[in-house]
Amino acid sequence: MTIRVLVVDDSVVIRRLVVQALESDPEVEVVATAANGKLALAKVDQYAPDAVTMDIEMPELDGVEAVRELRKRGHRMPIIMFSTLTERGATATLDALSAGASDYVAKPSNVGSISESLAAVADQLIPKIRALVPPQRRSPGTAPARSVAPVRAATMARPVAQLRQDIRRHPIRAVVLGCSTGGPEALSRVIERFTAPLPVPMLVVQHMPAVFTRQLAGRLDRLGPSQVYEAQDGQPLVPGGIYIAPGDTHLQVEGKPGRLRARITHTPPVNFCRPSVDVLFRSALDVVGPDLLAVILTGMGADGKAGAGAIAEAGGTVVVQDEQSSVVWGMPGSTATAGFAHRILPVLEIGHAVTGLVKASSTINEVTR
């Protein structure tokens, strides 16, 4: 079964490039193209694509407003934005993600030839489309609907009684969190539910370019009582602070509990990712030990699974987002199916769960400090 895609871009050259890149995969069919958001609305109704690629800056109706209107009309298919790696492009892309876009890819820049541009677009776009439209959601000729039954947490998570025993044995001195596809909005839903700053630092890896992570930190900082930073090398990690890994760098932890600092490195990618969730999780475990709460939100791939497993085996606590509320249940799903998750929760419950778990450990923190 093929994945039927609508390509939306006001540039004839870019439309042709994206069409060629997509159709290099025999399982992808471009059913239509559109030169602006207004035409895209009509063609979504006409062709009912399984996915849409959407330019941001277009005449008549731009990409952000087109996404907003499609979601308002009830269309649920994945929408992938085609973005430039600039401050302006980052702002518009984050606006589109807030409006309901599923993910984004970068437009090719400084690429030498047409064939290299095609390869760059295909390498970014095709894996995302395949992940966002798995076989069970490919339904040619009709609007796609989510047909996968949510995985029952009870079949994978440890019993609540065991989780409570773990919390009594191990105080929580830091929260570490990883996410990717769908992560910016999931992070927003988590952070906006904090009613007070956490009494411990929270470190976050979101797979994003550098200019995007800086803007993401600024947006998250406005959502709740916590101060959110794009982490800097050597920065003290203080209670109540939330530290986002800068794009294209790894975020690690150094120092000792009570005197933690951020370490920013440019070592090779792990799991094809930089920043990598596994790098953060393993670094935090080396410094803090098992006194960690690890959280994995929506995202492609399995980055974070090994680190979460190490934290769970050491005696820390692991919470993952459930399938039904995830844009892509890759990272949380791989961790859950491996048996590392203590709890599998909808995204709207995770902020309260983090607050509750950290608060429950506060008396242990005082005794063992």
Tokens 């009709």 locate to 142
φ, ψ (nearest 5 deg) of residue 58: -145, 155
pLDDT at residue 364, rounded to an integer: 59
Q: What are the residue boundaries of the structural domains of the chain, listed by start?
A: 3-137, 153-368
pLDDT at residue 163, rounded to an integer: 42
pLDDT at residue 116, rounded to an integer: 84
The model's pTM: 0.89
Determine if residue 312 is left, alpha or beta; phi over 0 gives left, psi from -120 to 50 gives alpha, anything else beta: alpha
pLDDT at residue 145, rounded to an integer: 36
Identify whether the C-beta of residue 213 lies closer than 8 Å to the C-beta of residue 244: yes
Domain covering 153-368 in this structure, CATH number? 3.40.50.180
φ, ψ (nearest 5 deg) of residue 242: -120, 125
Is 3-137 a CATH 3.90.380.10 domain? no
Tell me the three state secondary structure of residue 252: strand
Active site residues: 180, 207, 303
What is the per-residue burial (b if ≥16 Cβ within 10 Å, else e) of 160-182?
A: eeebeebbeebbbbbbbbbbbbb
Please list, in sequence order, all residues whose beta carbon lies within 8 angstroms of the beta carbon of residue 290, skipping any fewer than 6 positions away: 170, 311, 314, 315, 316
pLDDT at residue 110, rounded to an integer: 63
pLDDT at residue 169, rounded to an integer: 62
Residue-wise pLDDT tens for the chain (369 aa)? Answer: 899 999 999 999 999 999 999 999 999 999 999 999 999 999 999 999 999 999 999 999 999 999 999 999 999 999 999 988 788 889 999 999 999 999 999 887 765 677 888 888 899 999 999 999 988 777 554 333 333 333 333 334 444 334 433 444 669 999 999 999 999 999 999 999 999 999 999 999 999 998 899 999 999 999 989 999 999 999 999 999 999 999 999 999 999 988 999 999 999 999 999 999 999 999 999 999 999 999 999 999 999 999 999 999 999 999 999 999 999 999 999 999 999 999 999 999 999 999 999 998 876 555 444
**Paired tokens of 111:** 């690429």
Nearest-angstrom CA–CA distance, 197 and 62: 37
Q: How many CA atoms lie within 13 A of 122 on its CB side?
A: 18
**Paired tokens of 135:** 């076989």
Q: Does 3-137 match 153-368 in CATH topology?
A: yes
Q: What single DSSP character describes residue 137?
A: G
Identify whether the C-beta of residue 281 lies closer than 8 Å to the C-beta of residue 179: no
pLDDT at residue 108, rounded to an integer: 75
Nearest-angstrom CA–CA distance, 261 and 50: 45
Nearest-angstrom CA–CA distance, 254 and 171: 19
Environment class of 203 (CB within 10 Å of its CB; exposed 0-12, middle 13-18, buried 19+): buried
